[in-house]
Amino acid sequence: MAAQAEDAMAKLALSENQGEAAAAAAPPAAKPEAEDSDDEDDAPPADGSAPTAAAKKKRKRKPKKKTKTPTTQTSPPSVPLSTLFPSGDYPIGEESPYRDDNSFRTTSEEKRHLDRLDMTYLNDFRRGAEVHRQVRQWAQGWIKPGMGLTEIAEGIEGSVRALTGHQGLEDGDNIAGGVAFPTGLNINHIAAHYSPNAGNKTVVKQEDVMCVDFGVHINGRIVDSAFTMSWDPVYDPLLEAVKAATNTGVAAAGIDVRMCDIGEQIQEVMESYEVTIGKETHPVKCIRNLNGHNIGQWKIHGGKSVPIVKNNDTTKMEEGEVFAIETFGSTGVGYVRDDLECSHYAKAADAPHVDLRLTSAKNLLKVINKSFGTLPFCRRYLDRLGQDKYLLGLNNLVSQGIVEAYPPLVDKKGSYTAQFEHTFLLRPNCKEVLSRGDDY
């Protein structure tokens, strides 16, 4: 037993010596290359213990995806205009040279110098005009019979807010830019100032004629433009008459031009058209108590009116003024009156200082001052700001003359009305039609 054990021990020692010699003679094993990793857990534990299976697993770094800057507008429009025009230079409107006695302005170095003095406000107008063009061109393809007025109004207004970058939910944001006034959706005999209130169930029908009137502003520089839609070609002559009349008014306008001369030319063109509906032919009439107007900063109606019929108003347009030429045609009597539920309101620019006793009126006035200033608003906008049970306070502000109500304006029931409108600026050396587009 002892001899066998000694022999076994000798053999074991010899085997260990041979193993050590072989290990010393073998070349060193290549170390694996380190993998790039952001995970510190891949390093061996500090205490020298064996790494876990999770730590042994090698992970490759994933390249970060780069966010592409949009270069085209979406449908519905949602890309802010500042993203599409990073330089901050926005498309120029239609520039028209002055005519007749004012033709010298086009080449006058003095007038050209004046035109270059301050371009900041002009760029605000151009930015608002481009927002209007992009939103309305989308809306013209999107609006269809069967849609509700609330859906249409909120779709247009939501796109305007997205493109201007002003959602209007914070104090002062809507005053800085965004929606200039409630979207007017005026169907058939309703000519102006109709916007759906909460709960409105009106749906556009195939046989309807609908005027779409909305505005955009940047820093109070308002672009006001409107168009009319119909889905039955029988109404095409009505739309053509009004569009032609608006273009005539825009072409006639200029520095030192009298309002009466513009109105006469508009009426002559408009009333040269007629439209046959069923078996009855109707002359297209100007709605004589609706007018165009000049536009002030944060004031949609600046104080001057542009008639659309012949009259005796010798007031002249002046250099630097902004005007909206809007013409209204009707198959009815050509005269509108107040009717239906009111949706449009605006704080009066010369609102009196009144000691309000009604708490709801006081609170609502604070909201109006912070969110709209003198810009028009509607009841849906108050709902959107979280206001409720405000009608009593709103009516009190109206009765005190602090806020003005603008109810819908309607012609004879059963008649059809249409509207087209453009905003232009009388620059020192040319007239720029800001809202002009490929559509109208």
Binding residues for substrate: 193, 301
Given the residues 301, 321, 339, 404, select the one marked as catalytic.
301
Of 124, 130, 421, 432, which is the active-site residue?
421
Give the strand pairing for 221-230 and 280-283: unpaired
Q: Active site includes 224?
A: yes
Q: How far apart are CA 300 and CA 318, in angstroms?
A: 17
Single out the residue of 56, 19, 14 nearest to residue 39, CA to CA.
Answer: 56
Which SS3 state, helix, strand or coil, does residue 259 take?
helix
* Catalytically annotated residue among 132, 166, 293, 422: 293
The residues near 331 (Cβ < 8 Å, ≥ 6 apart) are 238, 275, 277, 282, 284, 285, 415, 416, 417
Q: Annotate 346-372 with b (16+ C-beta within 10 A) or e (fewer).
A: bbeeebeeeebeeebbeebbebbeebb
Tallying the residues shown for the chain, one arrives at 440
Catalytic residue, from 124, 157, 326, 411: name it. Answer: 326
Closest CA to 45 of 54, 34, 35, 36: 54
Q: Is 213 a catalytic residue?
A: yes
Closest listed residue to residue 242, CA positions, set 426, 406, 416, 415: 416
Q: Which residues are annotated as a binding site?
A: 193, 213, 224, 293, 301, 326, 421
Q: Would you call 293 a catalytic residue per the annotation? A: yes
Under a CB-based contact definition with an 8 Å cutoff, are residues 298 and 218 in contact? no
Whether the Cβ atoms of residue 308 and residue 266 lie closer than 8 Å to each other: yes
Residue with tokens 């905003």: 423
Which of 224, 344, 422, 432 is catalytic? The answer is 224
Summarize the annotated binding site for a divalent metal cation as residue ranges: 213, 224, 293, 326, 421
Token pair, residue 321, equals: 């003024």
Of 124, 130, 213, 432, which one is the catalytic site residue?
A: 213
Is there a catalytic annotation at residue 232? no
- Please answer whether residues 355 and 418 qualify as being in contact, where contact means their C-beta atoms are separated by less than 8 angstroms: no
Starting at the edge strand found earlier in the chain, the sheet holding 409-410 runs: 190-192, 409-410, 337-338
For this structure, is 274 an active site residue?
no
Just list the catalytic residues.
213, 224, 293, 301, 326, 421
